[in-house]
Amino acid sequence: MAVTQDKPTKRTRKSEPAMEKAELLGAYSTMLLIRRFEEKAGQLYGMGLIAGFCHLYIGQEAVVVGMKHATSEGDEVITSYRDHGHMLACGMDPKGVMAELTGRAGGYSRGKGGSMHMFSREKNFFGGHGIVGAQVSLGTGLGFSNWYRANDRVSLTYFGDGAANQGQVYESFNLASLMKLPVIFIIENNRYSMGTSVERASASRDLSLNGSPWGMASLSVDGMDVMAVKAAGEVAVAHCRSGKGPFLLEMKTYRYRGHSMSDPAKYRTREEVQRMRAEHDCLDAAKKMLEDLGVSEADLKKLDDDIKAQVQEAADFAQTSPEPELSEIWTDVLVEGV
Amino acid sequence: MATEILMPALSPTMTEGKLSKWLKKVGDDVKSGDVIAEIETDKATMEVEAVDEGKILSILVEEGTEGVPVNAVIATLGVAGETAKAVPAAAPKAELPVAAPKAAAPAQAMKPEHHEIAEPSWGETKPTTVREALRAGMSLEMRADPDVFLMGEEVAQYQGAYKISQGMLDEFGPRRVIDTPITEHGFTGMAVGAAMNGLKPIVEFMTFNFAMQAIDQIINSAAKTLYMSGGQMGCPIVFRGPNGAASRVGAQHSQCFASWYAHCPGLKVVAPWSAADAKGLMRAAIRDPNPVIFLENEILYGQSFDCPVSDDFILPIGKAKVERVGSDVTIVAFSMMVDVALKAAEILAGQGISAEVINLRTIRPLDVATIIESVKKTNRVVSVEEGWPFAGIGSEICMTVTEHCFDWLDAPPVRVAGLDVPMPYAANLEKLALPQPNWVVDAVKKII
């Protein structure tokens, strides 16, 4: 497949929608869960219940949810430190995620990982990585293990526009292309690597072409449109599963909050953020589509209430779960008893 | 005037080789750059080019001759009736750093002088090089477990930069013996990701110096993930390759990384000396569910030791070996420095001083019990390492002894280490930079 900047996703939508009503409702529900979860996490951070680094995913929800709907159970997911949305989309329990944010024994890493370091063997979620770009080589290794075992799985390797400038990303592109590994590299281009706009950080003006020296097939996608993401994801998944090697997706997206909780966001205007929220919000768009498909306002309100309750339950659990036992400090350094 | 063509050194550590084939015969004219012979070392077969023009006057070493020492005269070149002057053949072009021909050192079989230390008996042994032992350890584990594979630069088609993996591509195929591009950061991360997903990679670094490109993946990803995941996601992986100084390869290829990796919780660090160490510990490292740093030594690769032949032979990680029993001082060493320590012990024995030599085998977890037991008997300790002294393994040994058996010490612990400088290239300076047996002798005599 040639490198392309087409947006077949839009064409696809005109002919047949990437999701029928029931599926779209499910996708909307997951996006809403992520949005409400992240809002709650921001709140708990403000109350001092969450500390350290906390990078919120608000604005970017359509990316992970659309990709989730394009993939199958067993496909691996790995990402950077902005990882709460990915975990929830993978089906990890919001209680365990929130309790990890508060550093409690009920968290996915029993309080020893924190916001940036959570994993689920059961849900095939491989973290949660704090070193920008490191997850790209690791995700290539997940794809490698699928190639080695000759199974049908695909590795979804997420990274930001900032990581897209790291050297090991291109080492990984080369390795994955050379060995034809089933890896979907997903650049979540939210326009800012911390406070540096993509224009100031990358001489590449079109990140979807960053795999072109290796002949990597790619698409640039409206990452604020969950249907477009799913449609592009299906193209990428089919490509990888058929043994053609890796695929690069550039998701054009936007984060509404700062890079982390301590980011004053002086590098962009309030108007820019407001415009994105008002005109391109993934939840608003999905909600409108659902209304057009005949979902009642009452049903949508009930969904919102249910999700709020679910998130509140997670927040309550995260505050009542005890801190880890002090003896935990010495466990899990090495696998013992060998 | 006729010139002598000498047996060239084809690698930094070559001391002898096989003259496998002459491509010219007596009476042939040769000019500079002509390939005149093929020479086989334990690592590779390489072509030898003529440096000078002339006629082959005589061939002094027949083809097929093994064990031809570096710098031996193998042929003469010139006009009939001339007398000869020594000029070495050009060292061939090679990817590996090539040293200028140098005085031939006799090949040494580094056998421990004393065998009185009882280890569990593994039955029959046979002389085995460290290279063969490493290969045997990996191959045995790969036969037993399909999740184990080897990847690295030149490990497959080239048969290994140092021929450790020779023949493994043929046996295991390209899916399990994988050539990578020269991209340490990328392929290390890829291997760690594969390990997180349950495979058991063996990653060969052509030297541990190149692993610095990948040290973020080794420390931040491989060593810390088990902890950060609350025990969910381990990383069963072996990082292996030559560590420390080889011979005349300069500052960027001669560093010992033992203390770098030993510093980090979440890693095990192994440093074999003998062939038995190499085979037994390699198997244990591959079976270990944790990331293991496996520090080899290029100079040891070609050296022969008695090694158990049993397919069941394995050594435990975390257990040192007393290589020589003594009563006056404990000398603690690892890897190549075990040989230096044993030579020093031999010299000391001639002077009436009985030294006990401990081969650490594993650096982390350190076998504190064996060290302490020995020091409580000898009341003195000297550590030997080729790495730098500051924050080195010797510092850890000396502090461990101070903490655990201060009251048994009759003298302060002493460190012998490589000089605190980047490795110089010049032969005399390099020799000056690395611990010699007499340094250890001097250190012992300071405290006795």
Domain ranges of chain A: 8-330
Q: What is the pLDDT of residue B81?
A: 59
Q: What is the pLDDT of residue A275?
A: 94
* Least CB–CB distance from A148: residue in B175, B192, B227: B175
Distances (CA, A) of B37 to A264, B51, B55: 71, 13, 15
Say yes or no to pLDDT of B362 above 70: yes
What does the pLDDT look like over B188-223, one tens digit per residue? 999 999 999 999 999 999 999 999 999 999 999 999
Considering only CB atoms, which residues of chain A are within 8 Å of chain B?
76, 78, 107-113, 117-121, 126-131, 134, 136-142, 144-145, 148, 167-168, 171-172, 174-175, 178, 331-335, 338
Do A134 and B216 count as a contact with CB atoms less than 8 A apart? yes
Q: Is residue B15 exposed (0-12), middle (13-18) or buried (19+ Cβ within 10 Å)?
A: buried
Q: Give the side-chain half-sphere CA count within 13 A for B377.
A: 15
CB A8 within 8 A of CB A219: yes
- For residue B415, the 8-state DSSP code is E
The Cα B393–Cα B391 span in angstroms is 7
Name which CATH class applies to A8-330: alpha beta
- Grade residue B90 by pLDDT with cuts at 50, 70 and 90: low
Residues of B in contact with A131 (CB under 8 A): 216, 220-221
Q: In what order do the strands lie in the sheet with B16-22?
A: B45-49, B35-40, B16-22, B65-69
Do B186 and A171 count as a contact with CB atoms less than 8 A apart? yes
What does the pLDDT look like over B19-61, one tens digit per residue? 999 999 999 998 888 889 988 877 777 888 888 888 899 999 9
Which residues have C-beta within 8 Å of that of residue B50, sequence separation ≥ 6? B5, B30, B31, B32, B33, B34, B35, B36, B77, B89, B90
Helix axes A61-70, A282-292, angle to 10 degrees: 60
* Least CB–CB distance from B228: residue in A113, A121, A171: A113
B137's tokens: 């350890």
Annotation: CATH topology of B125-308? Rossmann fold (3.40.50)
Q: How far is B94 from chain A (nearest CA, A)?
A: 25
Residue type, B48: V
Q: What is the pLDDT of residue B53?
A: 85
Q: Which CATH architecture has domain B2-88?
A: Beta Barrel (2.40)
Q: What is the pLDDT of residue A7?
A: 42
What does the pLDDT look like over B415-428, one tens digit per residue? 999 999 999 999 99
Please pick, among B184, B356, B385, B386, the residue that the annotation labels catalytic: B184
Q: What is the pLDDT of residue B103?
A: 40
What does the pLDDT look like over B128-181, one tens digit per residue? 999 999 999 999 999 999 999 999 999 999 999 999 999 999 999 999 999 999
Q: Is residue B376 exposed (0-12), middle (13-18) or buried (19+ Cβ within 10 Å)?
A: middle
Lowest mean pLDDT among A229-238, B119-128, B231-240, B287-296: B119-128
Residues of chain A with pLDDT under 70: 1-15, 338
Same fold, B125-308 and B321-446: yes
For chain B, give every domain's residue range.
2-88, 125-308, 321-446
* Least CB–CB distance from B196: residue in A126, A136, A167: A126
Would residue B49 show up in a list of annotated catalytic residues for this protein?
no
Please pick, among B253, B296, B323, B396, the residue that the annotation labels catalytic: B253
Read off the pLDDT of each residue in B338-342 and give the average, rounded to a whole number: 98
Q: With a cut of 0.85, is the ipTM above it? A: yes
B392 or B67, higher pLDDT: B392
Would residue B115 show up in a list of annotated catalytic residues for this protein?
no
Q: What is the pLDDT of residue B97?
A: 40
Which residues have C-beta within 8 Å of that of residue B175, sequence separation ≥ 6? A148, B149
CATH of B321-446, picked from 3.20.20.80, 3.40.50.920, 3.40.50.300, 3.40.50.450, is 3.40.50.920
**Quick one: closest CA in A to B215, which residue?**
A134
The Cα B293–Cα B243 span in angstroms is 10
Q: How far is B187 from chain A (nearest CA, A)?
A: 7
Q: What is the pLDDT of residue B82?
A: 60
